[in-house]
Amino acid sequence: MQHHFTTRFEGVSLAPFDSLNLGLHVNDNALHVTKNREILKEKLGVSKLVFMDQVHSDCIVCIETGDEAPTCDAMITNVQGIGLAVMVADCIPILFYDAKHEAIGVAHAGRVGTLLQVGQKTALAMGERFGSRMEELKIWMGPSIHQCCYEVGFEATKGFENFLHVKENNYFLDLQSYNHAAFVALGIKPENMDISDVCTCCDTDYFSYRRDKITGRFAGVIAL
């Protein structure tokens, strides 16, 4: 198994998507994005690299051939040589690995996906499909916007009351802690979770929609 979180470097896209933009939906040159995806595929050394058409849902697709192009926000597989990619520019890219059953997964958890518990549903889907046990799963939550920068309006705080920071009547969400608590409640061991302390809005090594609006997408990728 190998896993990796890309940065914005070592690609061919031009500003404002410079340079390793992996998103075809942000009005970048499609030829550049295709080349960037090939660069990542070659770096991983996999035969197939699957990207999702992400729509902020809790839909999970099991990848069997590597030729799929699913509309969903999470994928799982146990097929060797297939890489799974989740694109982000502030949302949390979540990676899953079950060493016992040799299975992997990815999930796209922004505010909506987090509230829908797409990450936790992905873990459960791995259990149903591959026999994964929650206490054996390893989870990585990659670089994403943190509560220092994730200010929202009051209407967006519903459901996050226990993971809300209020500063001078401004509201800031802590999606990382929400997901951590939800995973623990599911039976994931805290020591099996790795949460990046990188805030994408603060760190210009990563694409950030909150910071730049017109920007690219980086990815979390995992492969057997």
Report pLDDT digits (tens) over 92-131.
999 999 999 999 999 999 999 999 999 999 999 999 999 9
3-state secondary structure of 114: helix
Ordered structural domains, the chain, with CATH? 2-145+175-223 (3.60.140.10)
Q: What is the pLDDT of residues 36-68, one digit of tens each?
A: 999 999 999 999 999 999 999 999 999 999 999
Mean pLDDT of the residues in the chain: 97
Q: What is the pLDDT of residues 6-43, one digit of tens each?
A: 999 999 999 999 999 999 999 999 999 999 999 999 99
Q: What's the pTM value of the predicted model, to 2 decimals?
A: 0.97
Single-letter residue type at 133 = R
Name, in order, each residue with C-beta under 8 angstroms of 167's C-beta and a sequence gap of 6 or more.
none
Single-letter residue type at 210 = R
| Calpha distance 159→212 (Å, rounded) | 27
Q: What is the pLDDT of residues 64-82, one digit of tens each?
A: 999 999 999 999 999 999 9
CA 204 to chain centre: 18
81 vs 26, 46, 153, 164, 224, CA distance in Å? 28, 5, 43, 40, 6
41 Rama class: left (phi>0) / alpha (psi -120 to 50) / beta = alpha
